[in-house]
Structure 1
Amino acid sequence: MDSRIKRRMLIIPLVYAVVGAIIGFLMIYFIEHQLINMFHAVSKVEIEVKANFPYFVYLILAFSFAIPGLKAFILNLIAVRQWRSGLSPSCPVCGFPMIQRIARRGPYIGQCFWGCYQYPKCCGKIHIG
């Protein structure tokens, strides 16, 4: 596989997912500490305060930032596997895998066609009919 295709379709979305998860966990950490600091400032009482969020809330909030990257990674992994097995053609313009799409406007509205993965950067397409 071309390293350009591998980087564009698999590595970049995975990096986005990991960075999103890290940002989510950091946001949760800082939000929890800000709540504790606000409680101390308002109550002016020095007692042990701990925000007891359930663990699954942390995971849901943290991974909500990672979901778009994970979704792109999984969809691109499927597209690359189909491309490798010969189920989807290569773009005649740039050589990237093509994705089956449905025309939304123009004379072929509602019909399927193969469109380049890099659209709108590359406008390669194959009419299926």
Structure 2
Amino acid sequence: MYGNNAYNVYKNNSINFASKEQLLLMLLDGSVKFAKIARQAILDKDIMKAHENIVKTQNIYYELMTSLDVNQGGEWAKNLMGIYTFIIDKLVQANIKKDVNTIDEVMPLIEDVRDTWNEAYKISKRNK
């Protein structure tokens, strides 16, 4: 019981004191995690668990889309918006069909988005 409570305090503090960039990376790590859980749930025929985790992944990308300033970011931001839209569309298809192949198709892109932002964060920390 104590260990679980200590973990929750740690987790809340991690979120409460994280920078914008760190929160972004946490979200992207979550998107990878939830997509992998959804994939396994589809294989396990756990439809509800698959649905819940696909929706969690989608919600992360919806949040990323709302925080993206296309006017400020120009062409780069528009391209990123297209990638986010593609990911969401594939997740919707995977959820409707409960199709592991569709998840497998989009999973490398979900991981690439996370890895790209992680690399950008590392570069920005070095340049400060």
From the CA coordinates, give the structure whose radius of gyration is larger. Answer: 1
Larger helix share, 1 or 2: 2
Bigger relative contact order (CA 8 A; separation at least 6): 2
TM-score, with structure 2 as normaliser: 0.27
TM (norm. structure 1) is: 0.27
Larger strand proportion of the pair: 1
